[in-house]
Amino acid sequence: MTRYAIVADLNRCVGCQTCTSACKHANNTAPGIQWRKVLDFETGAFPTVNRAFVPVGCMHCDEPSCRDVCPTTATRKRDDGIVTIDYDLCIGCAYCAVACPYQARSRVDLPASAYGGKAMRHEALREDPARLGVAQKCTLCVDLIDAGRARGLVPGVDAAATPACVSSCIAGALTMGDLDDPESNVSQLLRSKRHFRMHEELGNGPNIHYLYDGEIGDVAPPEAVPYVAEPVGLASVSPRLQTKWDWRAAANFVFGGTGTGLMAMTALAALTGPASWAAVPLALIFVMAGLICIWFEIGRPWRFLNVYLNPFTSWMTREAMAALPFFGFGALAWLLGSPVLLALSGLSGLAFLYCQARILRAAKGIPAWRHPAVVPLIVTTGLTEGAGALAVVMAATGTEARAVALALTALVGLRAWAWTRYRGGLQREGAPTGAFAAFARIKAGFSAAPQALVAAAALAAALVPAAQPVLLVMAGLGALLTGWEVKHVLITRAAFDQGYALNRMPARGAGKSSPGIKPGWFRA
């Protein structure tokens, strides 16, 4: 077997960006898109200042999270370890981009030129329309590797079969080779030199290894990476707010959660009394509105049927599959007045809601999403929104809703518990400082006072029949609006990416290796 990897010697890298330029020239990436780039880290204070230049890009991981989340199977891992993208299958949903903890993926929707306006001759000649509207990233110059191997060349040894970034490095800081060959150049370096892999704790198994010191027995094992909540001069390597999923993605979680929660609560309420059939088409409309919003967000919307190609590992595919029986059973239940079909639609809605929660959980590139506590948070929020919407519908139609009011009271408390658990987990395990700041700016959300008012109104609606319609509307709208606000913030304002971190700063010359840094992170 063959497993290609890159070894980057941080003691040698001078930050010249030659690898970046070589990559751009070899792959003709769009302006502002860098498949290979070099980061600049600086720690300490005068006179003890440490600096490191760190090449990054796609890590061609052993267990790439981008591959697992891809709903179309466009992202694949070859037998030699190279992670590729099939531009003809990709729908440009950017799920892989938010699942990558190395910020290695991008999407370009429109042709662009370096100086604006008309493209220069070389840009026009090398423009690749297949890369528009889809995910793109470092390919490890797979075309060079394949062509070279066909000619009997050895990647990492022969320049003609070696990635452009490696063969162009003027400092000899980059080495590429086969990790499964114990005598290869990279295997020998990793056996003899101290090294680390970035964000290794996430379990992706990245295949860019960083050398940071001398011989492997010279230095004690690295300690835990220190968090620096507000680093000075490190904005380029600190977590940044992702922009690949915007308000349209948030709308899918808002409307999808409300609609499926409404259908599930309507089906449940039908077990204790007459079904509120007016709520069924409203639930279908909510979910359809969310899916339409997401259709407008993807880069290649007319390929949307490709979303069904990966039910084995992608929660986005599973969400799309759950939508089919949800709409089918729901529409038939409304037309035929069938409680059985209503129950089946409600169960499908619960599956859809759970898939939404797992979509966020699988997004390893966004710390505020991947925390395990996000699953009960999203599920309880959707059910609470559904109960709130049902309360409003029943108040508007004059239907007795004591059971729904009591259920809403309980769900508000359950949602508050899930929120407290989620926030506490983030603080203990750590997350980007910007995520905590975004949650702190929520005006109402799930804080104690608004939730107490919603729960009190719902409970009063159950206990005071004369005032039930007004109290139901108050409680229902309160449950909806607070849930929508938190989801919007979670998707669009708290979604800071992983950023970059160094386990150790390199020795660099006659100096000594020093503690690394995780900039822009906070942990209680």
Give dist(CA 163, CA 144) in Å, integer.
7
Q: Give tens-digit pLDDT for 175-191.
A: 999 999 999 999 999 99
Q: Tell me, rounded to whole angstroms, the distance of Cα 164 from its chain centroid.
A: 29
Q: Look at residue 274 in the predicted model and tell me its pLDDT.
A: 86
Task: Kindly report, residue by residue over 259-281, the tens digit of the pLDDT.
Answer: 999 999 999 999 988 889 999 99
pLDDT of residue 221: 57
Q: What is the pLDDT of residue 111?
A: 84
Which stretches of 94-242 are assigned E, i.e. beta strand? 106-107, 135-136, 174-178, 193-196, 208-215, 227-228
Tell me, what DSSP letter sits at residue 183?
A: T
Strands (E) across 24-157 are located at 36-45, 48-57, 75-77, 83-85, 106-107, 135-136
b/e 234-266 (16+ beta carbons within 10 angstroms → b): beebbbbebebbeebbbbbbbbbbbbbbbbbbb
Task: Let me know: does 339 contact 263? Beta carbons within 8 Å.
Answer: no
DSSP assignment of 404-473 equals: HHHHHHHHHHHHHHHHHHHHHHHHHH-EEHHHHHHHHT-SSTT-HHHHHHHHHHHHHHHH-GGGHHHHHH
The token duo for 200 is 């290794």
pLDDT value at residue 474:
97
3 state SS of 502: strand
Beta-carbon contacts of 411 under 8 Å, excluding residues fewer than 6 positions away, are: 380, 383, 384, 387, 479
Residue listed under structure tokens 């990559």: 23
> What pLDDT does 224 receive?
74
Residues 443, 482 contacting (CB under 8 angstroms): no
| Residues 39 and 86 sit within 8 Å (Cβ to Cβ) | no
Query: Can you tell me the distance from the alpha carbon of 269 to that of 472, in angstroms, rounded to the nearest whole number?
Result: 15
pLDDT, position 507: 81
Report the alpha-carbon distance of residue 516 to residue 505 in Å, rounded. 5
- Please return the burial class of 45, using the count of CB atoms within 10 Å of its CB with bins 0-12, 13-18 and 19+: exposed
What values do phi and psi take at 127, rounded to 5? Answer: -65, 140
| Angle of CA points 288, 412, 479, to nearest 5° | 45
Q: What is the pLDDT of residue 342?
A: 98
The per-type count for the chain, helices as H runs and strands as E runs, is 17, 15
Please list the ranges in the chain whose pLDDT falls under 70: 124-125, 215-223, 509-511
Count of all residues that appear for the chain in the document = 524
Q: How many CB atoms lie within 10 A of CB 221?
A: 8
pTM of the predicted protein model: 0.95
Give residue 243's pLDDT: 96
Amino acid identity of 93? C
Question: 174 φ, ψ to 5°?
Answer: -110, 130
Q: Are strands 227-228 and 431-432 parallel, antiparallel or unpaired?
A: unpaired
With pLDDT > 90 as the criterion, what percentage of the chain qualifies? 84
In the chain the domains, ranked by start, together with CATH numbers, are 4-240+499-522 (3.30.70.20), 247-492 (1.20.1630.10)
Tokens of 220: 């004690």
